[in-house]
Amino acid sequence: MEIIEFNQTRALLYEKAMTKYPNARVRDLSAMLEHLEPNKSDRILGFGEGNGYFCQSIANRVGVSGKYLVTDPSNYQLAHLVSRLSLPQVEIKQIGVEGLSVEPSSFDKVWSFGAFHHSSNKAEAMKRIYSALDYGGKMVVCDVFQGSVLAKHFDDVVAKYCVTGHDVEFLSNDSAKYLCKQAGFKDSNIQIIDLPQKWLFRSESGLGEFIYQLHALTNLPGNMAGKISQTVDSCRNILGVESVGAFYELNWPMSALIAYK
Ligand SMILES: C[S@@+](CC[C@H](N)C(=O)[O-])C[C@H]1O[C@@H](n2cnc3c(N)ncnc32)[C@H](O)[C@@H]1O
């Protein structure tokens, strides 16, 4: 039986984190705008959109003359998204990336943020992305990559303490390029760039609470205060936290796999 990773508890904690700290990920929004470049009338397919952090912004950019298909396999994540997003240019579907079934060549852009690693069939997923893209279309897959301190955070902390575990395989630069080529992208049309993301918090305890909730680290031992202080410690030790002006900046290093059909 397929297990929904983002079950009710995990989706509820994800929603709590994102609604209590709505500005923590503003630089992710900037990275999305810079690399996806959503424009008026674009036809965009998003997978693993979760509870919809990026969706309003993308939907506004494409406008009513555009089309935006928002997907995620978790009905619990989508329930939160649906409650906020109702626009004529938006269609919402409960499906994983490897199960995407859309008209071939019907999108200008396909994108995701922090979701591709969840796919249990990455080769099939990439083939479906390639098929969905129109000729000249752009894929932007922002994710955690092997060898980064972020991958270590997931493998050392999230896998151990998350309510659903975190049994995934991250892309490496080589495996990402291989998947793209297998799906049909030309070598010269594939690039991988660093996304040196930072997440911003007013306090270290806020940082701890956000990460605790976002990753549903309910299996950490101790009471709530202890769980949050262990989360802060592991963030400091593995990811790095820097005090800059009024903010604590949490290092969140990702990569973007960009390819044109
Ligand atoms: C870390 S969340 C990211 C959500 C959103 N993109 C964001 O940045 O806030 C990962 C999302 O990937 C989704 N996911 C899990 N398996 C997936 C799959 N096979 N295909 C697409 N998305 C998947 C989860 O349901 C979850 O909503």
Model-level pTM?
A: 0.96
End-to-end Cα separation, the chain, in angstroms: 35
**CA of residue 230 to ligand 1 center, whole Å:** 25
Q: What is the mean pLDDT of residues 126-145?
A: 98
- Asked whether 197 lines ligand 1 (CB < 6 A), one says no
Mean pLDDT of 221-237: 96
Share of the chain above pLDDT 70, in %: 98
Q: What is the mean pLDDT of residues 156-176?
A: 91
Token pair recorded at residue 77: 């994540």
Q: Is 47 in the pocket of ligand 1 (CB under 6 A)?
A: yes
Pocket lining: 5 vs ligand 1, CB cutoff 6 Å: yes
Confidence of residue 4 (pLDDT cuts 50, 70, 90): low
Domains and CATH numbers, the chain: 8-260 (3.40.50.150)
Q: Whose CA is nearest to atom 4 of ligand 1?
A: 50
pLDDT for the residue numbered 165: 82
The pLDDT value recorded for residue 187 is 97
Q: What is the pLDDT of residues 55-87, one digit of tens each?
A: 999 999 999 999 999 999 999 999 999 989 989
- DSSP assignment of 228-260: HHHHHHHIIIII-EEEETTEEEEEEEEEEEEEE
pLDDT score of 168 more than 90? no
Q: Is 50 in the pocket of ligand 1 (CB under 6 A)?
A: yes
Ligand 1 atom showing the smallest separation from residue 47 Cα: 21
d(CA 137, ligand 1 centre) in Å: 22
